[in-house]
Amino acid sequence: MTCFNIHLGIVTRFDLITNEDPRLWYTIKTYSPTDLEAVMKAGVAVEQEMERDSRMGFFLICKPEILLACMLYMSQAPPPSAFGAFESIKPVAVAVPEHMGSQLEFAKGYTMESGVK
């Protein structure tokens, strides 16, 4: 653990509050770079909605050839307000259809698909 590049200490244990429902809803959609402006605006709207809904998760990867939006929701299917900002943008493809799975399943699948070691 560092502060301004000064070593403060080494953390040897992290205590986390558990969640009793391990289910995770998620989907991954890809968008065309020509829709960049609309996708970025939708991403901002989703981030703002995340301030109100702590179950939401979201990340957006922008590459020159593709935009990849991953939408996640803890324990249940999301309400329309969660990711509604993306409804008006037509995806190029749905890489992972809407799915109720688990964090383990998502992490393993995402690691394989993204090629990250």
Partner 1 sequence: MGSVNTPVLSERLLAILDALPASVPKDVTSRFRQTVNSAANILDAPQYEHDGTAVDLACNASKTLFGDLVITPDSPSYKSAQQVNWSMACWLPARCIIKLQNTVEVALALGIINHFKCPFAVRSAGHQGNPGFGSIGKDGVLLDLGSMNSVNLSDDRRVASLEPGATWKKVYEVLENENLNVPGGRISEVGVGGLILGGMCTKYQGYICRRLTFVSQGACLTSQHTGAWFAITWRALRYSR
Binding stretches for partner 1 (CB under 8 A): 1, 3, 6-22, 24, 50-51, 53-59, 70, 72, 74, 102-104, 106-108, 110-111, 114, 116-117
The three-point CA angle 28-29-33 to 5° equals 135
* Residue 74 Cβ vs partner 1, minimum distance, rounded to whole Å: 7
Q: Which is nearer to partner 1, 31 or 106 (CB)?
A: 106
Q: Which is nearer to partner 1, 32 or 103 (CB)?
A: 103
- HEC letters along 36-83: HHHHHHHHHHHHHHHCCCCCEEEEEEECCCCEEEEEEEECCCCCHHHH
Distances from the Cα of 107 to the Cαs of 24, 71, 115, in angstroms? 11, 13, 12
> In whole angstroms, what separates CA 100 from the centre of its chain?
14
* Residue 105 Cβ vs partner 1, minimum distance, rounded to whole Å: 9
* Residue 34 Cβ vs partner 1, minimum distance, rounded to whole Å: 27
Q: Which is nearer to partner 1, 40 or 61 (CB)?
A: 61
* Residue 31 Cβ vs partner 1, minimum distance, rounded to whole Å: 19
